Structure formats: structure tokens, C-alpha cells
Amino acid sequence: MIEENGTVLSIEDGIAEVETIRTSSCTSCRARHGCGHHTIAKVSNSNRMLMKAIATDDLKTGQSVVVGIPEDTLLQASLWMYAVPLLGLVLGASLPSLVTEQTLISVVGAISGFAGGLLAAKWKSSQETKNPDYYPRVLRINTNQAQIIPVVQKA
């Protein structure tokens, strides 16, 4: 289970809006000088993220919670979003080269395969929108924080 700490901002119909502070291990990574993630993290002025998570009944606004999502769910979603379009690109570029030697057909095939992979990923995403396995869950309320954090909401 991949876990992250956050603060509950609001609760509505069993869904909690949770604010998390993005943590990064970029400062201790040896490859940080050549990494795009490190560069984006330096440029970004906000480490705060809002997410919607499936909440428990005893949750209150302002509580510190632990939010989590299963690793296998994240891995499956990543495969659909990254590997399927990439596989479409490679197959779209290589299959026409078995039939003809024209480069233009391979380029068109690569673009078509990539677009097909993106459409397949979009289709899979639309199929799983109601699947609760793909949503983060509030796993537990942090007990190490005795007081409730006051949340100021703009009206």
C-alpha cells in the first residue's frame, strides 16, 4: 500500500477532500542533476496537492489522516497510461516495415499506433471511473496528533 499523510478539508457523500504535502527524495538522489522531476520540483512553488479519497464515517474536517492506494492498482494504471501507447507506437512503426520499405508509411503507422494506444488507455480509464479500487482511501486517522487542525475555508 502506498501511503501519504494529509489533512481533511471537507467531507461530502462519503468522499473526503484531503490536502497532502508532496514529499520528495530528490535532495538525496544521486541522479537529481539530470532528472526532470527534480527540475520541476525546484520550479514549482507549491508542494500542496488536493485529492479526493473514500472516507470512513467517523472522519471530521481538520483531522490528520493517512491516505493510501494499493501498489498493484497503481502499477496497472501506469501500464495502461504509459506502456499501451508506447506499444502502439512501436507496433505501428514496425509492422508496416515488414510489408514495405517506405519510411512515410512507418511514420504514419507509428503516429496511428500511438493514437490508438492513447484511445485504448482513455477507454480503459472511462471503464474504471466507478471502480473504487482506483480511488485513494482514508486508511486511518493519525493518532500521534492529539488535536484537530483548524481549517479556514473561504466562503
Tell me the pLDDT tens digit for each residue of 12-57: 888 899 988 766 555 566 666 666 666 666 666 557 788 888 887 7
Q: List strand residue ranges (DSSP E) for the chain, in order.
A: 2-12, 15-21, 48-54, 64-69, 137-141
The pLDDT of residue 71: 87
The pLDDT of residue 5: 86
The pLDDT of residue 150: 60
Strand pairing partners for 66?
5, 140
Sign, Cα dihedral of 8, 49, 78, 88: positive
Domain coordinates in residue numbering, the chain: 2-141
* Cβ atoms 146, 10 nearer than 8 A: no
What is the C-alpha separation between 130 and 136, in angstroms, rounded?
A: 13
The pLDDT of residue 50: 85
What is the C-alpha separation between 110 and 85, in angstroms, rounded?
A: 10
Residue ranges in the chain whose pLDDT is less than 70: 22-46, 144-155
Please state the pTM of the whole predicted model: 0.62
What is the C-alpha separation between 19 and 8, in angstroms, rounded?
A: 6
